């Protein structure tokens, strides 16, 4: 049994919304150690949209399954609107939790009309009340004109909204979305996701949304919980994650980055673009992460950092310049069209060292599973 992390308050019984504390779970593998979820805690207030974001296999769906009651945790507690759903002494069955689950596969009944599919989720069996409530829900999700159609007669986005109406029919206290929009094509995905989340926000229903796509989390979440290898490594708003990423993974969320690894000497890390000052020294290896959007072109020789122009593409108002250094492709930067760049020539690179991030490398140093707390370069 895992000990609760020190200093964390237990779930407040009087609190509203979802409260998860020190959740642990283990899957046994045939031979190896298996997967472990460890010390997962989060608070989700009513009407808020929180994202659980992590790479494939990091434990996102496991957290949702535990909250929904589809699996029983080995440690920790979950409470919803002040009611303990599970801890060492309590266990509420999944069908009694009033939690709506939406997956990528909308799973509408194919032999039922949209009206009947939505009515299936209702608690009441009073025919008049049923009809009124289904009409209300179909108006809410913009499908009033499709009530008598069958699922196969609806587009993917319309089916997703029908699934939302069916979920709302059950009056959930919480909605869990597990990669619910990833089957939709990109344009439709943004539109359907936006309308589904707007409806849930207006209904005041808290939403915990699982995704592996940072853009989705950045676009929709009030708060992002980053999960890596079964642990939450950072929770915060988009701007907190942008300004102070706690891990290498988070530092890469906001567009392309350059990563340089090695052991700094005399306060400098030797990199293909030139020596970069870092505050860590000695045996400790580091990874320096630099967002390419923070790189500005300057005349060669005007900066200690430089690269070779591999290619230059005119985009009208600006150029996309592909950079390389020491024979290695680095990435692209955008520069004003007025600054011509000769392919094969050198370009100087300027950046604010305060905008780069330094992490211990390799991961696992500093006795931390996630690679330790980063330090911003400080010069
Ligand atoms: P994610 O949703 O982040 O992709 P999951 O929560 O589905 O990750 O899975 C986390 C890890 O647990 C994965 O390594 C997966 O293979 C493993 N896992 C998931 N379900 C089971 C299970 N029923 N039995 C054993 N291992 C499982």
Q: What is the pLDDT, as a whole number, of residue 322?
A: 92
**Residues near 254 by beta carbon (within 8 Å), at least 6 away in sequence:** 214, 218, 242, 291, 293
CA of 59 to the centre of ligand 1 (A): 6
Provide the whole-model pTM.
0.85
Strands 18-27 and 49-53, by their bridges, are: unpaired
Nearest CA to ligand 1 atom 13: 57
CA of 60 to the centre of ligand 1 (A): 8
CATH assignment of the domain containing 356:
2.40.50.140
Verify that 127 and 234 share a domain, yes or no. Answer: yes
Verify that 219 and 267 share a domain, yes or no. Answer: no
213: Cα separation from own chain's centroid: 6
| Ligand 1 pocket mutation, candidates 25, 27, 210, criterion most atoms within 8 A of CB | 27
| DSSP code of residue 265 | B
Nearest CA to ligand 1 atom 26: 27
Verify that 268 and 209 share a domain, yes or no. Answer: no
Nearest-angstrom CA–CA distance, 360 and 223: 26
Q: What is the pLDDT, as a whole number, of residue 372?
A: 35
Q: For the chain, what is the domain count?
A: 2
Verify that 159 and 284 share a domain, yes or no. Answer: no
Q: What is the pLDDT, as a whole number, of residue 299?
A: 84
Please give the number of the atom of ligand 1 that sits closest to the Cα of 62: 6
Q: What is the pLDDT, as a whole number, of residue 340?
A: 65
Per-residue pLDDT of the chain in tens (379 residues, 90 and over written 9): 333 444 455 555 457 899 999 999 998 766 566 788 999 999 999 999 999 999 999 999 999 999 999 999 999 999 999 999 999 999 999 999 999 999 888 889 999 999 999 999 887 778 888 999 999 999 988 999 999 999 999 998 899 899 999 999 999 999 999 998 888 888 888 988 998 999 999 999 999 999 999 999 999 999 999 999 999 999 999 999 999 999 999 999 888 899 999 999 888 999 999 999 998 666 679 999 999 989 988 888 889 999 999 999 988 888 899 999 998 898 888 888 776 678 898 999 999 888 899 999 886 544 333 333 344 433 2
CA of 337 to the centre of ligand 1 (A): 48
Per the CB < 8 A criterion, the answer to whether 289 and 330 are in contact is no
CA of 26 to the centre of ligand 1 (A): 9
Verify that 239 and 125 share a domain, yes or no. Answer: yes
Ligand 1 neighbours, Cβ below 6 Å, are 27, 35, 54, 56-62
Nearest-angstrom CA–CA distance, 261 and 272: 11
Q: What is the pLDDT, as a whole number, of residue 298?
A: 87
In a domain, 76, yes or no: no
Verify that 223 and 267 share a domain, yes or no. Answer: no
Q: Is the dihedral of CA 253, 99, 47, 76 positive or negative?
A: negative
In a domain, 19, yes or no: no
Residues spanned by the domain of 299? 255-375
CA of 268 to the centre of ligand 1 (A): 41
Verify that 159 and 280 share a domain, yes or no. Answer: no
Residue 177's nearest CA partner among 156, 159, 198, 193 is 193
């Amino acid at each position: 049994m895992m000990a609760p992390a020190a200093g964390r308050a237990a779930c407040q019984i009087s609190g509203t919304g979802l409260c998860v504390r020190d959740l642990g779970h283990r899957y046994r593998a045939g031979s190896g150690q298996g997967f472990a979820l460890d010390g997962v805690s989060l608070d989700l207030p009513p009407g808020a949209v929180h994202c659980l974001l992590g790479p494939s296999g990091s434990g996102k769906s496991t957290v949702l399954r535990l909250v929904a009651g589809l699996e029983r945790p080995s440690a920790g507690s979950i409470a919803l609107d002040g009611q303990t759903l599970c801890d060492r002494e309590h266990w509420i069955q999944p069908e009694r939790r009033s939690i709506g689950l939406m997956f990528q596969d909308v799973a509408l009944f194919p032999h039922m009309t949209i009206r009947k599919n939505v009515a299936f989720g209702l608690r009441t069996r009073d025919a008049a009340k049923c009809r009124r409530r289904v009409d209300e829900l179909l108006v809410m999700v913009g499908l009033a004109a499709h009530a008598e159609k069958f699922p196969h007669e609806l587009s993917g986005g319309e089916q997703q909204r029908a699934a939302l109406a069916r979920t709302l029919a059950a009056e959930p206290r919480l909605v869990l979305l597990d990669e619910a929009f990833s089957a939709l094509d990109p344009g439709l995905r943004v539109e359907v996701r936006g309308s589904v989340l707007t409806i849930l926000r207006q209904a005041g229903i808290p939403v915990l949304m699982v995704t592996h796509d940072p853009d989705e989390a950045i676009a929709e979440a009030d708060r992002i919980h980053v999960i890596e290898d079964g642990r939450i490594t950072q929770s915060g708003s988009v701007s907190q994650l942008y300004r102070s990423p706690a891990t290498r993974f988070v530092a890469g969320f906001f567009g392309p980055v350059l990563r340089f690894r090695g052991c700094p000497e005399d306060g400098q890390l030797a990199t293909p673009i030139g020596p970069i000052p870092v505050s860590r020294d000695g045996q400790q290896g580091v990874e320096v992460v630099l967002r390419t959007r923070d790189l500005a072109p300057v005349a060669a020789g005007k900066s200690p950092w430089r690269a070779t122009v591999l290619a230059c593409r005119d985009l009208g108002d600006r150029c996309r310049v592909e950079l390389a250094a020491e024979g290695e492709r680095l990435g692209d930067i955008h520069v004003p069209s007025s600054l011509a760049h000769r392919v094969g020539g050198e370009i100087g690179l300027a950046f604010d060292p305060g905008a780069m991030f330094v992490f211990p490398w390799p991961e696992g140093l500093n006795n931390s599973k996630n690679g330790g707390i980063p330090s911003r370069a400080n010069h």
